[in-house]
Structure 1
Amino acid sequence: MDLTRCDDLWFEDGNVVLQAEQKLFRVYRGLLADSSSTFSEMFKLPQPDSAEQYDDCPLITMPDSAEELEYLLNAVFKPGYLESMLCKNTAFLIGALRLSTKYNIQSIRRRIVDELALIYPRTLQGFYHRVRHPVHEQFIGKAYIAAELARVGEAPILLPAILYCCATYTTETILDDNGPVGLNWSEKRACIMGRERIMVAYRKLEKQLKPQALPPTVNCELPGGQRCEIQQGVWVPLLQKRRKLTAHWFMPMLSHGNDLSWGPGVCFSCFDAMKTLYHNELNAIWEKLPEYFGLPSWEDLRAASDL
């Protein structure tokens, strides 16, 4: 078997050699042990006299892919490598997150999960601001990749927002085979069922915004509030129209306050009251995302993510 040294991770004064597939990495066991409790325990095990050696160093055969181990070791031993790769390479994110979770390198695992949490956040307000983060570009139209990351990183706290994004795709896209990285069948079912539940909740919100369902606005700036009450009726059709025109007819939460359009004949006090009601109800829907997708509560998801 021909073995190849990884030049970027072959330190002449390194004191342990790791082999993944046919690739060799000569690194520092002390630094690796400091980073990983798993490696620390591994290195404490007594080695028999017949233990394999390579270049006068202990040789440890790893059961991982060479590519993913290279990603992980670069993140451990190369300053700045992790930060430079976060927004560039989904293969790096998957590989480094999988192995940092497997070998309990929490500094790397948590850094990657924290970055993913910026675009698949716990709160609706955070979701509104997700596009500000560079890592977001890697997942446009590819939220199913993030589902794989949540699995390999044991970070289910990311799943409600991920499944919400996946639920915005067509049913055909959801059910398609996305290759080795993507939604499993349980998640595909959750997307389709969750979409139906969210749409039911959103239609209830539309009914709440009908003029006859709204409480009187005590601060109405128009005489009697009657003109405002009549004009409020235009907002429900606007919401319905927006839902129909949005990609795949299902994106009620992705805009930030632009669903309700102020128009002539509506005072600002009544409009602000309408917006407050609308956003409070959207937040209530967001809080129920785990329930809609058949997941544990937000609190249980956070506890299971060990963050």
Structure 2
Amino acid sequence: MTIHSHAPKGSVVDHQWAPVQELWFDDGTLILKAENSLFKIYGGFLAARSSVFRDMLAFPPPAEGNPMHDGCHIVTVYDSAADMALFLKAVFDSSFFEPPPTPTELHVVEGILRLSLKYDVQYLRRRALQHLLSTFPTSLQDWKQRDNKRTIPPVDNTPFVAFRAAREFDLDFLLPSILYCMSSHPFEKTLDHALWRDGQIELPWPDKRLCIIGRQKILMYQSQTALGMTKVSSVPVEGCTGESCTTTRLRCAEILNGWDIAGLLDYFEDNENVYAPDFCSVCRNAFEDMCNSTSQTLWNELPAMFDLPKWEALEKLKTSALEG
């Protein structure tokens, strides 16, 4: 971050520089310039929340050689105007980026996380991580409650954006659940690209390879689980009172074995219409127990499937990130 060193010719402010009205306070003390956008804000307020800005603003800019407007020096920051707008909104408007369970959007989380890390605003960084964890948790129990607790809406291709953020910010503890979600999308998105807002996300080859191999391991485990269902079907469940329980279990196995996407973690919840009408209560409970057991095993193995550290190590990384 530096003071702009060359005043625009003929004017202290270039005609292409556009003030951002919602972040332009008439009595502000500092103007930040990101790309061609200008933000007139309160320097002291920002410095109180950001150690980076505090250190920078502790040294007054030279009296000459820097553009000014409304009696304020213009400080150039080398961030996108979109990220800077989100970051400053979060700093100056306490209602804009609240912690969970208040909902938000992924592009907001990504932009605020990027600049809260860069400018050392700890409370915003923690909030951003909490929002990501609400959607990409580190325990199966939280995964099962995800649809009710997530603060980031399930917009199409969300996991691909989250993967990009996890890589950029070294958030490995988010990767197992993110990669599982990516494996539940059509394979072409991993191989080619996924659309997001006005652009697309294409993974570098090492990450494509990681995703492809991990996805294959998930599908193999699902096939093994389906085979286990068929084997169980050959032995009547003790206390079974239904006439169609065996064929229902076989139908569930056939559906699971035919998938080319990840889906086992939510299989019991998402396929109730398949088994609910035709299982007796005893077999339904037995089927639920089996699904819970196989889901837990898959969850335990997810990090290894994607060449990541064990969950215990990832939990330590998560704790460190939230406390840091």
Q: Same fold (TM over 0.5)?
A: yes
Aligned partners of 2:233 and 2:246 also within 8 Å: no
Distance in 2 (alpha carbons) for counterparts of 1:45 and 1:265? 73
Distance in 1, matches of 2:96 and 2:276, equals 48
Query: Alignment length, in residue pairs?
Result: 296
Residue 19 (structure 2) pairs with residue 5 (structure 1): yes
- CA deviation after TM superposition for structure 1 residue 63, in Å: 0.5
Give how far 1:231 is off: 7.6
Identity among equivalent positions (%) equals: 28
2:48 corresponding residue in structure 1: 34
Aligned residue for 1:287? 300
Q: Distance in 1 between matches of 2:72 and 2:85?
A: 19
Q: Which residue identity does 2:49 align to in structure 1?
A: S
1:221 aligns with 2:221: no
Q: TM-score, normalised by structure 2?
A: 0.77
Match of 1:81 in 2: 96
TM-score (norm 1): 0.80
CA gap of 1:152–1:82, structure 2 versus 1, over 3 A, is farther
115-124 or 198-207, which deviates more: 198-207
- Residue 264 of structure 2 corresponds to which residue in structure 1? 252
Is 1:169 the equivalent of 2:185?
A: yes
1:67-216 aligned at under 5 Å gives the runs 67-83=82-98, 87=103, 89-133=105-149, 135-178=151-194, 179=199, 181=201, 183-209=203-229, 210-211=231-232
Aligned-partner Cα distance in 1 for 2:182–2:278: 38
Q: CA deviation at 1:244?
A: 5.1
Supply the distance in 2 between the matched residues of 1:149 and 1:87 (Cα, whole angstroms): 18
Whole-angstrom distance in 1 between the partners of 2:269 and 2:71: 65
Q: What's the offset of the Cα at 1:257? A: 4.2
C-alpha RMSD of the superposition: 3.3
Q: CA deviation at 1:105?
A: 1.7
**Tell me, which stretches of 5 or more residues in structure 2 are unaligned?**
1-13
